[in-house]
Amino acid sequence: MSKFVIECPSCGKFAQAKTGFFARKKIDCTCGYVIDVKTDRMTSRKCPHCGNDVIFDQAKGDSAKCPVCHELINELSNKAKVEEFSCGQCGIKLSASKNCAKYICPVCDYENDVQKQLVQERIKKDGLASIIKYEGDNETFIWKHPIEDFNLGSQLIVHESQEAVFFKDGQALDVFGAGRYTLETQQLPILEQFYKLPTDTGGTFHSEVYYINLATQMGIKWGTDSKVRLFDPASGMHIEIGACGEFNIHVINSRKLLLKIVGTSSSLKQDELLGKNGGKGFFRAMIMTRVKTYLAQVIRDNGYNILEIDYRLDELSESLRVRINRDISEYGLEMSEFYVSSVLTPDDNPNFQRLKQQYADQYLKVREEEIRRKEAEAAAERKTVEAQTEAKMKLIGAQAEAEAYKMQAEAEAAEMRMKGYTYQQETTRQVGLEAMKNGISGGGSGGGLGDIAGLGVALGAMGGVINMTRDAVSPMFDTTSAIGQNVIENTADKWDCKCGNKGISGNFCNMCGSKRPTPQSEESWDCECGNRGIIGNFCNNCGKPKPKKITWDCECGQKGITGNFCNNCGKKRPGNEPSTWDCECGNKGIKGNFCDNCGKRRSN
Convert the pLDDT of each residue in 454-482 to its tens digit. Answer: 555 444 544 444 444 444 444 444 444 44
Sequence-ordered alpha helix ranges (H) in 339-469? 350-419, 423-437, 448-465
Residues forming a β-bridge with 250: 334
CA distances from 206 to 121, 175, 233 (A): 15, 17, 64
Quote the CA–CA distance of 480 and 500 in Å, as a whole number: 25
Q: What is the predicted pLDDT for the residue at 235?
A: 65
Q: What is the predicted pLDDT for the residue at 131?
A: 77
Spell out the residues 6+ positions from residue 467 whose beta carbon is closer than 8 angstroms to its own: 601
Query: Does residue 193 carry a pLDDT above 80?
Result: no
pTM across the whole model: 0.42
Convert the pLDDT of each residue in 494-503 to its tens digit. Answer: 888 888 888 8
- In 3D, which of 109, 110, 128, 107 has the Cα closest to residue 119? 128
Spell out the residues 6+ positions from residue 541 whose beta carbon is closer than 8 angstroms to its own: 527, 529, 530, 531
Q: Which residue has the higher pLDDT, 5 or 385?
A: 385
Question: 223 falls in which pLDDT band (50, 70, 90)?
Answer: confident
Quote the CA–CA distance of 489 and 507 in Å, as a whole number: 18
Q: What is the predicted pLDDT for the residue at 55?
A: 78
Quote the CA–CA distance of 399 and 406 in Å, as a whole number: 10
Convert the pLDDT of each residue in 162-189 to its tens digit. Answer: 898 877 666 677 788 888 887 665 445 4
- What is the DSSP track for 115-172? HHHHHHHHHHHH----EE-----TTEEEEE-S--EEETT-EEEE-TTEEEEEEETTEE
Convert the pLDDT of each residue in 253-303 to its tens digit. Answer: 888 888 887 766 777 888 777 776 555 667 888 888 888 888 888 888 887
307 neighbors 237 (Cβ within 8 angstroms): no
Q: What is the predicted pLDDT for the residue at 248?
A: 92
Determine which helix (DSSP H) or strand (DSSP E) holds 333, and give its type and residue range.
strand 333-344
Query: Does residue 398 carry a pLDDT above 60?
Result: yes
Q: What is the predicted pLDDT for the residue at 338?
A: 92
Question: 149 falls in which pLDDT band (50, 70, 90)?
Answer: low
Residues forming a β-bridge with 173: none
Convert the pLDDT of each residue in 435-450 to its tens digit. Answer: 777 665 444 444 444 4
Query: Does residue 311 carry a pLDDT above 70?
Result: yes
Q: How far apart are the first and last CA of the chain?
A: 139
Q: What are the boundaries of each domain within the chain?
A: 217-346, 421-490, 549-604
Average pLDDT, whole number, for the chain? 75
**90 backbone φψ class: left, alpha, beta (φ>0; ψ -120 to 50):** alpha
**Percent of the chain residues topping a pLDDT of 90:** 3
- In 3D, which of 302, 331, 305 has the Cα closest to residue 318? 302
Mean pLDDT of 427-437: 73
Quote the CA–CA distance of 39 and 41 in Å, as a whole number: 6
Angle, vertex CA 222, rays to CA 218 and CA 228, nearest 5: 150
β-pairing verdict for 155-158 and 131-132: parallel
Convert the pLDDT of each residue in 347-365 to its tens digit. Answer: 777 777 777 777 777 778 8
Convert the pLDDT of each residue in 583-599 to its tens digit. Answer: 888 888 887 778 888 88
Question: 337 falls in which pLDDT band (50, 70, 90)?
Answer: very high
Top-confidence range, 45-49, 86-90, 517-521: 86-90
Mean pLDDT of 425-444: 66
Query: Does residue 129 carry a pLDDT above 70?
Result: no
Quote the CA–CA distance of 570 and 68 in Å, as a whole number: 140
CATH superfamily of 217-346: Band 7 domain (3.30.479.30)
245 neighbors 222 (Cβ within 8 angstroms): yes
Quote the CA–CA distance of 196 and 209 in Å, as a whole number: 19
Quote the CA–CA distance of 161 and 494 in Å, as a whole number: 126
Residue 520: how many CA atoms within 13 Å on its side-chain side?
A: 9
